[in-house]
Amino acid sequence: MADKNRMNRVDEQLKEEISKIINQEIQDPHLTGMVSVTGVKTTPDLRYSRVFVSMIGCKSQKENLATLKKCSGYIRSILAKRVNLRMTPELVFEFDESIEYGSRIDKILKDMNIG
């Protein structure tokens, strides 16, 4: 149980820092719109972190994901300086569809005059 709490704290800290790095330090013109880190799931051995992102107002989600993957080494090197972990995990960016899914459900409910 203590291990699970520790992993949750690690995930939360990584989420916060990755979000700051993406929004304040990456100056790539290919990264368009607003990118939000919605969650981070790190493997127990700290080798990999799946970083879930949502994007609002971007030109192309695929292009944004490709840009984030290209910048992952840079993001990871900054993380290593900011987060005190024995090992900085390799970052794997994935698109989080939950927000998009939620807004689709919202729209359907509004169209049906339920919401």
Give yes or no for residue 21 having a pLDDT over 70. Answer: yes
Q: For residue 38, name the pLDDT band (cuts at 50, 70, 90).
A: very high
CA angle 25, 82, 96 (to 5 degrees): 60
The DSSP-derived string for 60-79 is -HHHHHHHHHHHHHHHHHHH
Q: For residue 14, name the pLDDT band (cuts at 50, 70, 90).
A: very high
What is each CA distance from 40 to 9, 63, 86, in whole angstroms?
10, 21, 18
Question: What pLDDT is attached to residue 71?
Answer: 94
Between residues 61 and 67, which one has the greater pLDDT? 67
Q: What percent of the chain has pLDDT over 70?
A: 97
